[in-house]
Amino acid sequence: MKVLIVGGGGREHAIAWKLAQSQKVDKIYCTPGNAGIASIAECIEVAVDDFAALLDFVKYEWIDLTIVGPEDPLSKGIVDIFEKEGRRILGPTKAAARLESSKIFSKDFMRRHRIPTADYKVFSSYLHAEDHVRMMGAPIVIKADGLAAGKGVFVSPTVEDAIDALRLIMKERAFGEAGDHVVVEQCLEGEEASFMVFTDGDTIVPMGSSQDHKRIFDGDKGPNTGGMGAYSPAPIITPEFEKRIVDTIMRPVIDGLKAEGMKYKGILYAGLMIKDNTPTVLEFNCRLGDPETQPVLSRLSTDLLDICLAITDGRLGELNIEWKPESAVCVVLASKGYPGSYEKGTIIKGLDEANMIDGATVFHAGTAFNNNDIVTSGGRVLGVTATGADIRAARDLAYKAVEKISFDGMQYRKDIAYRALR
């Protein structure tokens, strides 16, 4: 079978890497891809939001399945367009993807269906939002309504920080139209975890649990990022707790969408805050998380192609999905300046040496070719991932591989998986 992957980050490299292990996959294409993906797939130069060109490519090359990695194409309706043309594609429709593309839709949906989430208010006026923040006090959370590449959420420890976030979103327009409205939200305490499931709109199958690290610096300090590392499984999510999450959150979401005329197919991700053995939803994503995908797919035993086909064909319930008992840890290597402005084009050294370490895999995120050199081309550059008998062994191996890699300005957290090792 031929598969097209839409996207070019670490998540998409992990998807391609896992698909390449399937004996049923004859050819993998990726757009735009990156320097790492190019070693296992043919990268094509088609913009991820040029749906007409993508559809033409799928028809011309007789692509059997398209997998959408990032959120932006989903929010713009790529699934609707492909399905209208009878093309098999993994992901939710534009309407269902509003769970991620609109914080307001998501919060209102959770309120309608009694899914546990933090109290909130929505504002389109900067002055009204500022007045509310001063009245509520801190800590408090400020969220841009629309997509902001994982950077539109501000957990503000002081009122001044919250007002700075409002100013950045609503006055300076740092995220464009995504900041037309903001959600001002109660700040929850506890331990964060990522919970992803496969679903065909009826059957729900939990994936291996995981936890990521959003803040740029050790000890969860500094601004939020797209994610600086992740590990799987997450000890806080026991089998009993997993069932509670499915029963109180994931099942009500899938059934609620269906009741509102939206059958959700694909991957559903819930960012959770856990306190006193109770899960509360921070956010939903309508695709695989990044960097959670890297350690989670490293633990997947079942053929990923079989899972994707079962989802798109509405027969997920027929599949027995299995996971390896090993643990996995991913450490993200980022460019200097990230999550702010950063330079591109810096030569990366040591990739071959890192990949030669048994049990370690270097997933590329923001990389490109410059003649024969592999260079940086994004904020998050690499996701160094390793498996081991337990979290500690996997973490130690991942950092051993990290030590082999270097590029000017390279930054990374030294404490990935610390929660699991306390």
Q: Between the CA atoms of 110, 113, 119 and 120, what dihedral angle is there, to the nearest 10 degrees?
A: 50
Q: Which is nearest to 207 in space by CA: 227, 174, 232?
A: 232
Query: Among 210-214, 256-260, 395-399, which stretch is predicted with the lowest mean pLDDT?
Result: 210-214
Give the phi and the psi of residue 394 in degrees, each rounded to 5: -65, -40
- Show Cβ contacts of residue 62 under 8 Å, excluding neighbours closer than 6 positions: 2
Q: What is the mean pLDDT of residues 304-312?
A: 98
**Please, what is the end-to-end C-alpha distance for the chain in angstroms?**
45
**pLDDT(40) > 90:** yes
> Which conformational region is residue 4 in: left (phi greater than 0), alpha (psi within -120 to 50 degrees), or beta?
beta
pLDDT band at 421 (very low <50, low <70, confident <90, very high): confident
State the CB neighbour count (10 A cutoff) for residue 339. Answer: 21
Look at the chain and count its residues: 422
**C-beta of residue 233 within 8 angstroms of C-beta of residue 253:** no
Contacts of 363 (CB under 8 A, 6+ apart): 10, 13, 14, 17, 36, 294, 330, 382, 383, 384, 385
Could you read off the pLDDT of 207-241 as tens digits, one per residue? Answer: 989 999 999 999 999 988 889 999 999 999 999 99
| Model pLDDT for residues 56-110, shown as the tens digit of each residue | 999 999 999 999 999 999 999 999 999 999 999 999 999 999 999 999 999 999 9
Whole-number Å distance between alpha carbons of 65 and 87:
7
- Amino acid 94 reads K
Whole-number pLDDT of residue 165: 95
For residue 48, give the 3-state DSSP assignment.
coil
Q: Using CB atoms within 10 Å of the CB of residue 394, give its burial: 0 to 12 exposed, 13 to 18 middle, 19+ buried.
A: buried
Q: Are 407 and 346 in contact (CB under 8 A)?
A: yes
Computed over every residue of the chain, the mean pLDDT equals 96
State how far the Cα of 296 lies from the Cα of 288, in Å rounded to an integer: 10
Task: Give the pair of three-digit tokens for residue 171.
Answer: 């006055």
Does residue 149 register a pLDDT over 80? no
How much is the pLDDT for 229? 97
Domains contained in the chain, CATH given: 2-96 (3.40.50.20), 119-186 (3.30.1490.20), 191-318 (3.30.470.20), 327-421 (3.90.600.10)
User: pLDDT confidence of 328, banded at 50, 70, 90?
Assistant: very high
